[in-house]
Chain A
């Protein structure tokens, strides 16, 4: 069964610094998608970035990038030049291509950006 593990319940980062949020996963599928979502204190879930298992290059979206290491089954989110507005919960998720069509979410990492 698919599983997502986020080992950092909370992280602090200084404003303008970079931070890495860890995500490891377990799946027997060869084709899958990995997603990161941000949940500010307001509660909405915001899609940040996607990485496909067959993508050869690490995904990037503005200040967000994925450090994807397929052999190690890790998909860490890197936020560069942190801003105060980045303070939020961050969830990693995996989507299998067939079968259940069910997303599996990790337990999240709470990031606090310090001024």
Chain B
């Protein structure tokens, strides 16, 4: 079946504008994760969904960041009033078997966000 997809693949925006990033997980995957990866850096956890609920929002950098998931499927990460430090690649991943340790994630191709 299809893998994780993300859109747009690239987004260039002006400082102060709002952006929405979309993630379509693998069908049937109950867990969905958002990460941020700055250039040359590792993955920074943002938020995790189990179904449509987000039990862990601890990674969201500020209240300008929010995310939702509907239908236990698509998720949207919204960044309000973007700032230059928000420039990064935003990766989405989905997984199943969250109650077990053997729970590999499958990643999307990412959205590269550039804030001018």
Residues on A facing B (Cβ under 8 Å): 31-33, 35, 37, 42-47, 50, 52-53, 91, 95, 97, 100-108
Contact = CB atoms under 8 A, between A and B. Distances in A.
A27 B33 CA distance: 21
B107 A101 contact: no
B98 interface: yes
Nearest to A29: B101
Interface string B87-111: 0010101000011111111111110
B65 interface: no
A105 B43 contact: yes
B101 A52 contact: yes
Given A44-B109, A44-B110, A103 B100 contact: no
Contacts, number: 64
Contacts of B56: 100-102
- Main SS of chain A's interface residues? loop
Given A45-B105, A103-B43, 6 more contacts: A33-B103, A44-B110, A97-B99, A100-B58, A104-B45, A107-B41
5 contacts: A47-B104, A47-B105, A47-B106, A101-B98, A105-B43
B77 interface: no
A35 B104 contact: yes
A108 B31 CA distance: 24
B101 A102 contact: no
B100 to A, nearest CB: 7
A108 B44 CA distance: 12
B42 A106 contact: yes
Nearest to A53: B101
A104 B42 CA distance: 10
B114 interface: no
Contacts of A107: 41-42
A46 B109 CA distance: 10
Interface string B40-72: 011101001010000110110000000000000
Contacts of A103: 33, 43, 45, 105
Contacts of B105: 35, 45, 47, 103
Contacts of A35: 104-105
A95 B103 contact: yes
